[in-house]
Amino acid sequence: MHVQEDNEPYDQINVVPMLDLAYVLLVIFIIMTTASVQGIKVNLPKASNQPSLAKPQTKAITITETGQIFLDAYPVSIDELRTQLSALKAANPELPVVVKGDTVVLELLGQLDITQLGLVTQKLVK
């Protein structure tokens, strides 16, 4: 076995560090190439301007502190509310309604047999 002195020239090249560098560069190249892929092209359906018949339109009823009644964002009287809700109920027996208000409207909904009902409440602060 021959021990090399510090002043003797090398007769072999150590290629392990060069292979490590080549593998690192290969991995970086693969990552950068796959990152630039934009995805799969899909032929998406076009949206329709017609309202969907399968999804019922939820109606929102709001009663302010002054007693003003709104159906969605439109102010109505209690009689107008009764007429409009009756027509909507006739068109859709499962008419969903969200109420933010008092018991007068709840009584009206009970009279019209509207059972899909949601109530807006305030969160209790403890």
Q: Tell me the pLDDT of the chain (126 aa) as tens digits.
A: 556 566 777 777 788 888 899 999 999 888 877 766 555 565 666 666 665 554 557 888 888 777 788 888 888 888 998 898 888 888 888 888 888 776 667 777 788 887 777 766 666 566
- Domains of the chain with bracketed CATH: 59-119 (3.30.420.270)
Helix (H, G, I), strand (E, B) or coil at 35: helix
Q: State residue 15 phi and psi, 5-degree precision.
A: -95, -5
Helix, strand, coil % over all residues of the chain, rounded to 5: 35, 15, 50
pLDDT for 94 equals 83
Token readout for 74 is 């439109």
